[in-house]
Chain A
Amino acid sequence: MEAREEIMDRIRAALKDAPAVPEVPRNYRRTADLDHGQVLEMLVDRLEDYKATVKQVASADLPSTIAGLLGDATSYAVPHGLPPEWLDHDSLREDDRRLTDAPGHRLTVEDLDGIAVVTSSAVSIAESGTIILDGSTTQGRRAISLVPDHHICVVPASTVVQLLPEALPRVDPTHPLTWISGPSATSDIELERVEGVHGPRNLDVVIVTDL
């Protein structure tokens, strides 16, 4: 017998007592009980607790903020759908440090290794300090937010929710999803947390208050 059929038969035989399928209770919180200002405050608190740096700016100040965070980075990657107005700053216009990852022109891991990257994000959850990237054109392929050492992640304030159950309907689970809660970290040695292992060691989050 093929393995699949045999395992299926084993399962059916194991369930010969025909256990009932229980009704699933859903009494946990599914809607926010904080106002949006408090939700943003909570997100900042959680992200800072994870040792990410967080800035809150108006969209008019976004380009200068990104320019400041990039500092004198030798190069940085952007996904091809990143809104061009986000990089509309003297030091970023016609910038030969910028590497754009686009269909037909994919950056290699060698291109990406150790540089900076600027992406947007799909939805963020305040209660757990989690930012979800869903691979859409403003966020790009998973590799571009992984191999670089410095991730500047833009979070439009309108995409921030308080609770996880509010966030999931906003993303398509069949897209490649990356949930980020602070920079990479390990607690494997005596449970002492060390930030920055294999993922980007520095995470800058820029919350844009009017987007």
Chain B
Amino acid sequence: MSQVFIGMPSLPAYGQGNLFATESFPDAAHHELRDDQLRKNLRHATTSIREKRAHVVGELPDWEDLRDSGSAIKEAVMADLPAMLEQFEANFTARGGTIHWARDAEEANRIVEGLIREQDTDEVVKVKSMATQEIGLNEYLDEHGIKAFETDLAELIVQLGHDKPSHILVPAIHKNRSQIRDIFLKEMKDVDPNLSNDPRELAMAARAHLRRKFLSAKVAISGANFALADTGTLGVVESEGNGRMCLTLPETLITVMGIEKLLPHADDLEVFMQLLPRSSTGERMNPYTSFWTGESHDDGPKNVHLVMLDNGRTAALADTYGRSALHCIRCSACMNVCPVYERTGGHAYGSTYPGPIGAILSPLMTGIKAEENNSLPYASSLCGACYDVCPVKINIPEILVHLRGEDVDSRRGQRRVPSEMDLMMKGVQWAFSSGARLGLLEKALPLGKLAAGRDKKIKRLPGHLAGGWTSSRDIPAPPSQSFRDWWVKEHESPAAGTPGRTDTTGQEK
């Protein structure tokens, strides 16, 4: 780029807000795993949603073609982001919308607060939105005397329970029906004291609780799933109708959206509206989707605002290996297939974004050194299930490995005394750097066999690292000879050289 920036920002500009693991993942996982009820709820929920997804994805013969298109469209958006944002801005404002730009969470919160104050109210209704979770908008508004009512059923459960979401699609996935009934009985003033734990009855209680709010609210706050650059259109995908209520009835609508949510053309919805619902809720299509373009006469809000949020997205974009994490359309398929997430749940990740995508997105947005976010890239067995289900083909395992490297590099030279890992790696480096050294070490293999004893298992190793490994696992006894020894013996035997001899009978020995 030939352009010289005057007062060029110091890159990368990291995000703030609810993007941090405040304790390391292994520690957080340790106490989350003790909650049997949580594990039961999670297993049930992730299993059933996985099955639903697999069923509706299997129906489409062109699923892989859709993924290829979705991935390429998002890559094109990122590569051409400045021009695309300018195009979107021009179209959105031409139709009566107002755009505000927010460098970080704090700035976004202040903008939203100001817009609410302009309408002379201290109450707003909210559609579920990850961006506003990320910036901690509800807490901010609460501190400033504005009450934000979550209207999505699961968000309502979380809000009434003074809890934190644990999944980006079904934030109350960690609560079962009886726990939810107890929250409603305790927190909803107007609720029937004989409320049962039947999901239908609970949903109807939520409907009654929120109805008056919807019909009288002056200001609504939403996120957006998509923004179309060529028309200036915004879209929200939902199920319950709370989204439609918020997007249609109040006079003022404030949308908070990350800068990466753009799609180039309205036509691109034909790809994403096939990918998202099937990956997300495992439905052929979600019950309701709304699209609006600026202000639309007497059909919908008169004051239409959009807050465009950076908050660490440009930092993620600057990482050439990690930037594809910004392709994420927040479907949550990666969480539902992740063996780690299924056991620990979302709270263990600390950040608004849990699961495999959170394990890369949070450190990319905050920098690997922030709080305990360097523990997140290790919250994975690298099995690759997340990559297989990702509708936009984000190679999560590859980015996890890249971020582990970042973590190791960031800590290099910080210690005075080398760690066990450093020493082990040094040892391995020494051994692997010459065949003679490796051969020498291999001579010790029978010792390992001896140590394993009669049950052929090594049950305990010394040290923090190796000892940690064997605290929950046994190591099988090593073979009495190395592969290289075996090879030499085979090839020195009289039959050696006979074609086919070594790779058939040789292997059976």
Select from chain B the residue with minimum beta-carbon distance to A200.
B241
B263 to chain A, nearest CB (A): 11
Select from chain A the residue with minimum beta-carbon distance to B11.
A13
- Residues from chain B with a CB closer than 8 A to the CB of A6 are 9, 103
- Residues from chain B with a CB closer than 8 A to the CB of A113 are 215
Q: Out of B170, B241, B249, B323, name the residue touching A187 (CB < 8 Å).
A: B170
Binding stretch for chain B, among A59-67, A91-99, A189-197: A189-197
A142 to chain B, nearest CB (A): 5
Q: Do A176 and B296 have beta carbons less than 8 Å apart?
A: yes
Q: Do A24 and B72 have beta carbons less than 8 Å apart?
A: yes
A2 to chain B, nearest CB (A): 8
A172 to B67, CA, bound (A): 25
- Residues from chain A with a CB closer than 8 A to the CB of B37 are none
Interface string of A43-55 (1 = CB under 8 A from B): 0001000100000
A3 to B75, CA, bound (A): 25
Q: Kindly state whether residue A183 has any CB partner on chain B within 8 Å.
A: yes
Q: Do B318 and A19 have beta carbons less than 8 Å apart?
A: no
A23 to chain B, nearest CB (A): 7
Interface string of B290-313 (1 = CB under 8 A from A): 111100101110000000101000
A19 to B82, CA, bound (A): 13
Q: Do A10 and B310 have beta carbons less than 8 Å apart?
A: yes
- Residues from chain A with a CB closer than 8 A to the CB of B44 are 190-191
- Residues from chain B with a CB closer than 8 A to the CB of A21 are 75-76, 79-80
Q: Kindly state whether residue A162 has any CB partner on chain B within 8 Å.
A: no
Q: Do A184 and B288 contact each other (CB < 8 Å), given the known contacts A109-B249, A189-B202? A: yes
Q: Out of A11, A129, A192, name the residue touching B199 (CB < 8 Å).
A: A192
Q: Kindly state whether residue B366 has any CB partner on chain A within 8 Å.
A: no
Binding stretch for chain A, among B265-273, B440-448, B492-500: B265-273
Interface string of A175-209 (1 = CB under 8 A from B): 11111111111111111101011111000000000
A5 to chain B, nearest CB (A): 9
Q: Do B241 and A146 have beta carbons less than 8 Å apart?
A: yes
Q: Do B1 and A184 have beta carbons less than 8 Å apart?
A: no
- Residues from chain A with a CB closer than 8 A to the CB of B180 are 189
Q: Do B207 and A181 have beta carbons less than 8 Å apart?
A: no
Q: Kindly state whether residue A211 has any CB partner on chain B within 8 Å.
A: no
A175 to B315, CA, bound (A): 35
Q: Do A27 and B199 have beta carbons less than 8 Å apart?
A: no
Q: Out of A103, A128, A178, name the residue touching B284 (CB < 8 Å).
A: A128
Q: Which size bracket describes the interface of A in this complex?
A: 35 or more
Interface residues of A in 108-140 (CB under 8 A from B): 109-110, 113, 125, 127-130, 135
Q: Do A186 and B239 have beta carbons less than 8 Å apart?
A: yes
A180 to B298, CA, bound (A): 21
Q: Do A186 and B203 contact each other (CB < 8 Å), given the known contacts A3-B102, A127-B284? A: yes
A11 to B95, CA, bound (A): 26
- Residues from chain A with a CB closer than 8 A to the CB of B292 are 176-177
A189 to B73, CA, bound (A): 34
A7 to chain B, nearest CB (A): 5
Interface residues of A in 31-50 (CB under 8 A from B): 46, 50
Q: Do B81 and A185 have beta carbons less than 8 Å apart?
A: no
A17 to B292, CA, bound (A): 35
Select from chain A the residue with minimum beta-carbon distance to B75.
A22
Q: Do A197 and B79 have beta carbons less than 8 Å apart?
A: no
Q: Kindly state whether residue B98 has any CB partner on chain A within 8 Å.
A: no
Q: Kindly state whether residue A150 has any CB partner on chain B within 8 Å.
A: no
Q: Do B290 and A25 have beta carbons less than 8 Å apart?
A: no
Q: Out of A25, A109, A135, name the residue touching B68 (CB < 8 Å).
A: A25
Q: Do B62 and A3 have beta carbons less than 8 Å apart?
A: no
Select from chain B the residue with minimum beta-carbon distance to A142.
B248
Q: Out of B11, B100, B199, B207, name the residue touching A189 (CB < 8 Å).
A: B199
Q: Out of A14, A109, A188, A192, name the residue touching B318 (CB < 8 Å).
A: A14
B289 to chain A, nearest CB (A): 4
Q: Do B285 and A179 have beta carbons less than 8 Å apart?
A: yes
Q: Do B249 and A198 have beta carbons less than 8 Å apart?
A: no
Q: Do B244 and A146 have beta carbons less than 8 Å apart?
A: yes
B150 to chain A, nearest CB (A): 12
Q: Do B291 and A12 have beta carbons less than 8 Å apart?
A: no
Select from chain A the residue with minimum beta-carbon distance to B175.
A189
- Residues from chain B with a CB closer than 8 A to the CB of A191 are 44-45, 48-49, 170, 173
B225 to chain A, nearest CB (A): 12
A6 to chain B, nearest CB (A): 6
Binding stretch for chain A, among B151-159, B421-429, B462-470: B151-159
Q: Do B300 and A25 have beta carbons less than 8 Å apart?
A: no
Q: Out of B45, B270, B296, name the residue touching A164 (CB < 8 Å).
A: B270
Q: Do A13 and B5 have beta carbons less than 8 Å apart?
A: yes
Q: Do A28 and B62 have beta carbons less than 8 Å apart?
A: yes
Q: Do B299 and A142 have beta carbons less than 8 Å apart?
A: yes
Q: Do A185 and B259 contact each other (CB < 8 Å), given the known contacts A11-B81, A109-B249? A: no
B41 to chain A, nearest CB (A): 7
Q: Do A198 and B240 contact each other (CB < 8 Å), given the known contacts A142-B248, A174-B231, A192-B199? A: yes
A179 to B78, CA, bound (A): 28
Q: Do A24 and B287 have beta carbons less than 8 Å apart?
A: no
A180 to B289, CA, bound (A): 7
A23 to B203, CA, bound (A): 46
Q: Do B248 and A14 have beta carbons less than 8 Å apart?
A: no
Q: Kindly state whether residue B132 has any CB partner on chain A within 8 Å.
A: no
Interface residues of B (CB under 8 A from A): 1, 3, 5, 7-9, 11-13, 41, 44-45, 48-49, 61-62, 65-66, 68-69, 72-73, 75-76, 78-82, 85, 95, 100-103, 107, 151-154, 157, 170, 172-173, 176-177, 180, 199-200, 202-203, 206-207, 210-211, 214-215, 228, 231-233, 239-242, 244-245, 248-249, 259, 266-267, 269-271, 273-274, 277, 281, 283-293, 296, 298-300, 308, 310, 314-315, 317-318, 320, 323
Closest 6 CB pairs of A and B: A199-B241, A198-B241, A14-B318, A128-B285, A184-B241, A188-B154
Instruction: Pull 5 A–B residue pairs with CB atoms less than 8 Å apart, ordered by A.
Output: A7-B103, A11-B317, A177-B292, A178-B289, A191-B44
